[in-house]
């Protein structure tokens, strides 16, 4: 039996999550339900897409992923199901699909059209769960509604490099307050091979208009947090091969005042010129 995963901003205080799970189990008592996260900030589709994009490929093909974040429909934002890399994603087409697929084209896109639109009270339970149950019972994605050609487009921030600098952004703050960037291991290694480098975090306020002066700098990549002493700053590549700024047994985001969107620069130098 296929897996149903749940990603939402419901939190754990209220009854909403229990209602969704209870509805699934009422229709399919043997269903395998996996919680990805329910502790997102309200309407935060950027974080939702980051988490799901890094999680879904660990699940078996054919898994069904319900995403209940910023689900209010509009003329532009309709209910949809897409098939991507042999997984199914059900949500409101508010741009989150394009963030998950990273601008790649889904294998299939269908619109989910509610039978009793004006009687809806809980989108996830009333729209997304019935669609997931159909897929779970072996009905094809075509059974959910008419085909669509496109999805709403949002673009993930991209890191880039020139001859002397890699420029990226903080894209996610995790539960430990580690700052995850969009600088990949591949981009770093391709542009720092046989070179010395300096990772520059937030510029000090005094020199905020000067790229070359930073309040915090690093010139090594750690493998483990314990590679540095407790309380020290470190940079490492995480399990998603993204550059992470952390403090050993500390909270990098708070202590370094790092926020989503902040710029991280890595300057590279030829050894003979350093």
Superfamily of structural domain 160-273: Bacterial fluorinating enzyme like (2.40.30.90)
Q: Is the pTM of this model over 0.85?
A: yes
pLDDT above 90: residue 199: yes
Mind listing the pLDDT tens digit for each residue in 101-128? 998 999 999 999 877 666 677 999 999 9
CB-neighbour burial class of residue 131 (10 A; exposed 0-12, middle 13-18, buried 19+) = buried
What is the rounded CA–CA span in Å between residue 144 and residue 123?
15
pLDDT above 50: residue 210: no
Cα-trace Rg, the chain: 22
Q: Fold identical between 3-144 and 160-273?
A: no
Per the structure block, which two tokens stand in for 132? Answer: 């997931």
Domain 3-144: which CATH class? alpha beta
Determine contact, residues 263/169, Cβ cutoff 8 Å.
yes
- Strand pairing report for 32-37 and 3-8: parallel
Per the structure block, which two tokens stand in for 165? Answer: 């600098």
Per the structure block, which two tokens stand in for 191? Answer: 């542009």
Query: Among all chains, which residue has been given the structure tokens 């010139």?
Result: 219
Query: Among all chains, which residue has been given the structure tokens 């959910």?
Result: 144
Per the structure block, which two tokens stand in for 189? Answer: 């290694």
Q: Report pLDDT for 58.
A: 96
The domains of the chain are located at 3-144, 160-273
């Amino acid at each position: 039996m296929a897996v149903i995963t749940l990603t939402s901003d419901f939190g754990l205080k209220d009854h909403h999550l229990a209602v969704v799970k209870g509805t699934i189990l009422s229709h399919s008592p043997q269903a395998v339900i996996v919680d990805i996260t329910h502790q997102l900030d309200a309407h935060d589709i950027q974080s939702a897409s980051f988490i799901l994009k890094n999680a879904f490929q660990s699940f078996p093909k054919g898994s069904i992923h319900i995403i209940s974040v910023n689900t209010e429909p509009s003329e532009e934002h309709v209910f949809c199901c897409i098939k991507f890399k042999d997984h199914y994603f059900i949500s409101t087409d508010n741009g989150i699909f394009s963030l998950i697929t990273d601008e790649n084209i889904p294998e299939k896109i269908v619109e989910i059209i509610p039978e009793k639109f004006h009687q809806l009270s809980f989108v996830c339970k009333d729209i997304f769960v019935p669609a997931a149950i159909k897929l779970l019972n072996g009905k094809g994605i075509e059974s959910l509604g008419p085909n669509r050609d496109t999805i709403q487009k949002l673009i993930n921030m991209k890191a880039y490099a020139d001859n002397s600098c890699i420029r990226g952004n903080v894209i996610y703050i995790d539960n430990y307050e580690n700052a995850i960037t969009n600088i990949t291991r591949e981009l770093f290694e391709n542009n720092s091979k046989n070179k010395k480098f300096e990772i520059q975090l937030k510029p000090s306020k005094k020199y905020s208009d000067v790229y070359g002066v930073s309040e915090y700098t690093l010139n090594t990549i750690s493998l483990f947090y314990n590679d540095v002493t407790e309380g020290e700053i470190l940079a490492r590549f995480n399990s998603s091969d993204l550059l992470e700024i952390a403090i050993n047994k500390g909270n990098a985001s708070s202590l370094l005042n790092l926020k989503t969107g902040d710029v991280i620069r890595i300057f590279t130098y030829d050894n003979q010129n350093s």
